[in-house]
Chain A
Amino acid sequence: MALIELKNITVAYDQKHNILENFNLSVEEGEFVSLLGPSGCGKTTTLRLIAGFNEAKDGQFLFKGQDYTKVPVHKRAFGFVFQSHALFPHLSVYDNVAFGLKLRKTDAKQIRTKVMDILEAVNLKGFENRYPSQLSGGQRQRVAIARSLVIQPDLLLFDEPLSSLDANLRVQMRMEIRRIQQELKVTTVYVSHDQEECFSISDKVAIMNKGVIEQLDTPPLIYKKPKTEFVARFVGFENILPMTGSGEGAAPLKAKDGTPFVVEGAAGMKGTVKCAIRPDDIRIAKDGEERGADNSTAGRIQVTTYLGRGYQYVVETAIGEFLVNSHGEAPFGHGETVRLDFPPDKLVPVD
């Protein structure tokens, strides 16, 4: 049974507009799940709902099978790490970390050992007498993590914890977060709008759009086999090719000009089928070189841009415009006719 389960949750920010509607999510014990999506997609709302800061208008939140929908924040024992760190400015690092333990009436000796242990785990030994204003951004965030870990939370929640840090520190901190999470095996829900960040540290990623999870899968699966057009575009499949399927066994799909396309995993599909492909996966070659009848089309270069590691072209063809990357040295010029090949295993049918 899943550790957390959101069942048909609806959250509204005023009487009329729902941010989440009939929202469902389940997370297994020990898992690191990220909610990823553009701003306004409802990811932070979902996280705050789990924490208890937001109330559901409808639906149920189960934790270990118990109904937690109406349990107030302070009785949930979930650690929450904020984007703004939210350290107590009037307390030292030591007292910040000890805050939750003191509320739990832990005895002073035990508090001391626990606080010192956790400060060591986040590499902040020797900082216990400093105040938040005397710490750098990265140190503050580590105090915030230590503070929420020391109470041995049933669940750890992160709300864009790294977005206020600079780029180098972000990479370092996300590894730190992953390391700590794996060491302590805390179930974690992590919210970010940074794709690389989510993919690098999560067991599973939920891509959210307009209050709905479009896909919940392991990062490699999302990266290779997006299920919907939104997810495909979100993870860099910038070309969507609409085709039609006959519905018969292994027959290829047909583009709008009738060109046959063999697509892996599309056997038996009927009606309109959208296929996504990355700019890197379309092969570009001079027109007139030998080509097969399948998965290929001719086009004309519209725009050429230099990317550093190669060139990017906008190519107009009879079946639509495509964005294509090439790593070749000699670029094709404006107006040149070229041939595009679409490998069957790189085309991904999406909804």
Chain B
Amino acid sequence: MKEKHTLLGWITFLVFLFLLGPLVIIIGASFGPDNYLTFPPNGFSLKWYENVFHVEMFWTSFKISMLVALLGIVLSFLLGIPAAYALSRYQFKGKGFFTSFFISPIIIPGIVFGYGLLKYLVITYHIPIFPGVLIGHVVIMIPYVIRVISSSLMNFDYSVEEAAMSLGASRLKTFFVVVLPNIRSGIIAGILLAFLESFNNVDVSVFMTGPGVSTLPISMLNYVEYYFDPTIAAISVLFMLMTAVLIAAIERTLGLRFFTK
């Protein structure tokens, strides 16, 4: 495979340019000294990064985003692991239906789902804002959890489970001491993916957040409605940095190839 594909090289370059170009502009603009977004910047300043930490709204909504993501991970795993296990371990009626059902939050447009949730949870049942956001996030995290866990269970030899039972472990014990340790990589990947999905989510959050309870991306949206200074570019850069660190962590622990299996 030493052949040179000039055309392929160019196409790849264009794709990268298309994907990364906007990011370059944001990074550049975040270091600008002016009170409005400019690219290329007319100088170099870190004051907008400083300003990020002075806007109280960002800090409170960051904490809420973290809380929603972490609680959401716990809840989506409590629901997702048993579901993934049942779907890969057993044959039963309606299995195809359940598989598509659990994946459906990815297929339904986020804005439609968000609106549906608003109508159903908030308007009809008057669920308070925070639990509402949490429920919305759990629903969109579950498909990722189930997909990733199912794919690690696919490589799991269930006779190992039977071996543990024949040696004296009950069903439940077997699950914890034999099944879980063997899908550890899937669980780590699931946590990271679910975290990113929740932390970056806009379309569901925009409907579910309300006075006093807002996630970070929604605060950012609100901020740009009133201000046009590079603070928003600075916080976006910080946001990207965090995502990049998480992706690097996945790459380190499992390799990104894990997701293309």
Contacts and interface: CB of A to CB of B under 8 A. Distances in A.
B182 A99 contact: no
A25 interface: no
A87 interface: yes
A53 B174 CA distance: 14
Contacts of B109: none
A82 interface: yes
Listed residue (B159, B170, B171, B173) with the most chain A CB atoms within 10 angstroms of its CB: B159
Interface string B168-192: 1111010000100110100000000
B174 to A, nearest CB: 8
A1 interface: no
Contacts of A90: 181-182, 184
Contacts of B25: none
Contacts of B165: 52-53, 73-74
Nearest to A150: B167
B124 interface: no
A74 B182 contact: no
Contacts of A76: 166
Listed residue (B162, B169, B178) with the most chain A CB atoms within 10 angstroms of its CB: B162
B170 A74 contact: yes
Contacts of A53: 162, 165
Contact of B168 (A51, A77, A86, A144): A77
A89 B162 contact: no
A87 to B, nearest CB: 7
A100 interface: yes
Contacts of B164: 88, 99
B167 A103 contact: yes
Tier of interface size on chain A: 20 to 34
Contacts of B171: 74
Tier of interface size on chain B: 10 to 19
B163 A151 contact: no
Contacts of B159: 82-84, 86
A73 B162 contact: yes
Contacts of A82: 159, 162-163
Interface string B137-174: 00000000000000000000101101111111111010
Contact of B169 (A74, A79, A89): A74
A53 B164 CA distance: 12
A86 B162 contact: yes
A99 B157 contact: no
A147 interface: yes
B166 A79 contact: yes
Contacts of A61: none
Contacts of A84: 157, 159
Contacts of A237: none
27 contacts: A51-B162, A52-B165, A73-B165, A74-B165, A74-B166, A74-B168, A74-B169, A78-B166, A79-B166, A82-B163, A83-B159, A84-B159, A86-B157, A86-B160, A86-B162, A86-B163, A88-B160, A88-B164, A90-B182, A90-B184, A99-B167, A99-B169, A100-B168, A103-B167, A148-B166, A148-B167, A151-B167
Given A104-B168, A151-B168, 18 more contacts: A51-B166, A53-B162, A73-B162, A74-B166, A74-B167, A74-B170, A74-B173, A75-B168, A76-B166, A86-B157, A86-B160, A86-B163, A88-B160, A88-B164, A88-B178, A99-B164, A103-B169, A147-B167
